[in-house]
Amino acid sequence: MRISIISFYILSVYTANVIPPIAYVGEKCGGSTFNPPVCSQNSECIYLLGNNVPGASGICVEIFHGVGESCGGGTRAAFQCEAGLTCSNTGVPGQTGTCEEANHPLIPPIAYVGEKCGGSTLNPPVCSQNSECVYLLGNKNIGASGICVEIFHSESEICGGGTRAAFKCKLGLTCDIPPTAPPGTTGICKPYHI
């Protein structure tokens, strides 16, 4: 009987060191420790400046779900919906729901680059901050819909930000973000130097 208690103790100590600790949004992940933390289900480990070499650590960044994907659940690692979407559920605490378009009558839905905007609907979609609604053949007639086309920023204008609607720089410019800045930080468009 004594051998099995000792075996159980050794097995439990070994198992405790094999299961990696969970890191949540904004916490460190990966790294050169024996048992590096892994991100919770609603986040992914992003390595600064693309540094995913062995031994580097990163930061857990939240993953947002789109239309039809799961959301909520009442846990610290619950998925959130992308901007412009809402999490519909039955109202039971802790139950997961589904991300769907927010149908608030006063807030128009957001359309992203390549999606339809404007139109003759009651609450037509408007383009995200990094795009503008361009009407086909210059058609701005009442009821016409257009397509959201990306806006590229010029030198000294804001860029980046880590969102789906982040601004990009014009050709020949690069988004200058300090290397020590946390994920999601905005930068400034500057000339690209080789």
Domain boundaries of the chain, sorted by first residue = 1-62, 66-102, 104-150, 154-194
- What is the per-residue pLDDT across 147-189, written as a single tens digit (0 to 9) for each? 888 899 999 999 988 777 888 999 999 999 888 888 788 899 9
| Terminal-to-terminal C-alpha distance of the chain | 70
pLDDT, tens digit, 9 for 90 and up, residues 17-35: 578 899 888 788 888 778 8
Average pLDDT, the chain: 79
Out of 60-64, 80-84, 151-155, 182-186, the most confident range is 151-155
CA dist 146 and 190 (Å) reads 31
Which two tokens mark 49? Answer: 């400046």
pTM listed for this prediction: 0.44
pLDDT of residue 89: 74
